[in-house]
Amino acid sequence: MRITAALIPLILLLGSPAFASFRCPARGGAQWREYRSAHFLIDTDARIEHVESMVQRLEQMRALVLQALVGEQVEIPGRLRVLVFADESDFRDMVSDPNTAGYFRLGSFGEPTVVVPKNSLSSDPELGAHEIAHYLSYYLFPVQPRWFAEGLAEWVQTVAARRELPSAPTGSHFRRGAGAAFGNMAGALQPLLARYIQTGTPALPAKDLLTWSGTETETYAGRGHAWSWLLYHWLWNERGKAFSEYQKRLGDSGDPDGSWRGVFPEFDPNKPEAMAALEKELDRYRFSGTFRAFPVQAESDGRFSEGPISSSDLHLLILGARSRWPSDKGEREALRNSILDEAFAEDPGNPAVISQRTEKLDPVAFANAVRARPADYRGWYVLGTIAPPAEKEAAFRKAVEANPASGRALNNLAWLLVTSGRAQEALPFANRALDLAPWEPSYVDTLAEVALRLGKCAEALQLERRAVASGPSESFRKRQAEIEQRCRGAAK
């Protein structure tokens, strides 16, 4: 997530929030449509004359970000959904922090989604590039420490900056640079540098940076983001060979701590003198004022097709994307139910809406609704989760057939097959699910089970360790211990 005022503090006084002020088309709101380009699903109520430039801008950002990250236009599976609000106030209704300029989340059925107001894509193009960088980087590094995730996104986002690098080749199609000091960096570093001069202590101790959770404090707003950028930039510029090795290990192992200590033993977080040495390096680098960048060029395809979004389905999109909810649990449930009841009233046969109203779900009526709309993968997916054991496989297969890009449907089918003793049959579905969402620990866990049952102990153990690193739940830790025990027994 990129928060504009994480770098330039902004205080707004709010009264009691009025939730769910967004109006769907059935209640007099604007009509929404979906625009499908090569790499995006763009859902918006913006006027058609704005859509073409919006699609071109997003595709251009993606091409530039990918070029900066890997040096070529490799294919990334699936599409990123972008929810774009034409009205800024409708976007503000979605977020609790008034400083949020855009954010990333998973939708109601697990689809990766970026949520932004329309104006930000043109007025702050680095915002879009930042969120796209987050999304694409998780295909390369499924497990990332937070400093790396934010540092990478901020290092890359300047490929979309309005300013051009003087060193860019004359006549190049896009002349933007990765690694340039991004828009608000000076505003972020200034008060932090002043604090260092006054107190002689680092604005953010190195160990705190390496273990940063992503939370910013009001006292020193933006220091986590600023120092993440600084560490990433220093590593890229002055420790390039070692940094490349770190990134390779991080991508291969999914072990941030082990990768760091294996490549940078001189900066072991457990050794105070090593952290002091890292702080000294970062202080020297930021005072130098020299931040090298390099130009990035890429071509993109702005073609797209379009289709309508029903008012009922729009409610689900908004529900899955909303990050602002009442703090009281009862109020949250009441709001959620009112949204779903409105969607149901607009289309009582929508299986996706029916499935969300879980306390009112009639399995027989739901199965009939699914069969009435066989092209809607969401219904088949949910049916697979509630159907009797003998009917689950058929439902999940229909979900995958209707939407081969549904990671959840692929993963559930793979789990059903592998736990039924059909590991070889489960393998392609488990692989595809993880290809689509390499950050999802449950998909990693499924592939680990497939590997284990195929007799690939070392691979299974490595995958389960990655699942633990991605989502450190007790169930994954227990599975890791079980795999370790089984693998030791197999080795004897």
Looking up residue 227, the CATH number of its domain turns out to be 1.10.390
- 112 lies in the same domain as 252: yes
Is residue 316 a part of any domain in this protein? Answer: no
- Structural domain includes residue 385: no
Q: Report yes or no on 208 lying in a domain.
A: yes
CA distance 58 to 173: 16
Q: Is residue 302 domain-resident?
A: no
How far apart are the C-alpha atoms of 100 and 35, rounded to whole Å?
25
Q: How many domains does the chain have?
A: 2
Is 323 part of a structural domain of the chain? no
Domain boundary among 266, 296, 326: 296
What's the token pair of residue 469?
């690193």
Domain boundary residue among 240, 270, 296? 296
Is 303 domain-assigned?
A: no
* Distance of alpha carbon 296 from alpha carbon 282, whole angstroms: 26
* 364 within a domain of the structure (yes/no): no
**CB-facing half-sphere around the CA of 205: CA atoms within 13 A:** 11
| 366, 376 Cβ separation under 8 angstroms | no
Q: How far apart are CA 410 and CA 434, in angstroms?
A: 9
- Amino acid occupying residue 131: E
Domain span at residue 428?
423-492
Residue 257 sits in the same domain as residue 108:
yes
Report the alpha-carbon angle 470-473-479, nearest 5. Answer: 95
Q: Is residue 468 part of a domain?
A: yes
Each of the 492 residues of the chain gets a pLDDT tens digit; together they read 333 323 222 222 233 344 556 788 888 888 999 999 999 999 999 998 899 999 999 999 999 999 999 998 998 999 999 999 998 889 988 888 777 888 888 888 889 999 999 888 888 888 889 999 999 999 999 999 999 999 999 999 989 886 554 444 433 333 458 888 755 555 555 555 555 555 555 568 899 999 998 887 665 567 888 889 999 999 999 999 999 999 999 998 888 999 999 999 999 999 999 999 999 999 888 877 667 788 888 999 999 999 999 999 999 999 988 888 888 999 999 999 999 999 999 999 999 999 988 777 888 889 999 999 999 999 999 999 999 999 999 999 999 999 999 999 999 999 999 999 999 999 999 999 999 999 999 999 999 999 999 999 999 999 999 999 887 788 899 999 999 888 876 654
Do 291 and 433 fall within a single domain? no
- Per-residue confidence (pLDDT) for residue 142, from 0 to 100: 93
The set of residues, in sequence order, having a beta carbon less than 8 Å from that of 334 and lying 6+ positions away, is none
DSSP secondary structure code for residue 375 in this structure:
T
Helix and strand numbers, DSSP H then E, in the chain: 22, 9
CATH of the domain at 483: 1.25.40.10
Task: Among 296, 320, 335, identify where a domain stops.
Answer: 296
Give the distance, in angstroms, between the CA of residue 463 and the centroid of all CA atoms in the same chain: 20
* Domain co-membership, 71 together with 220: yes
Classify residue 234 by its DSSP letter.
H
Residue 167 phi/psi, 5° resolution?
-85, 0
Nearest partner of 324 among 42, 17, 7, 106, judged by Cα: 17
| Stated pTM of the model | 0.85
The amino acid at 360? K
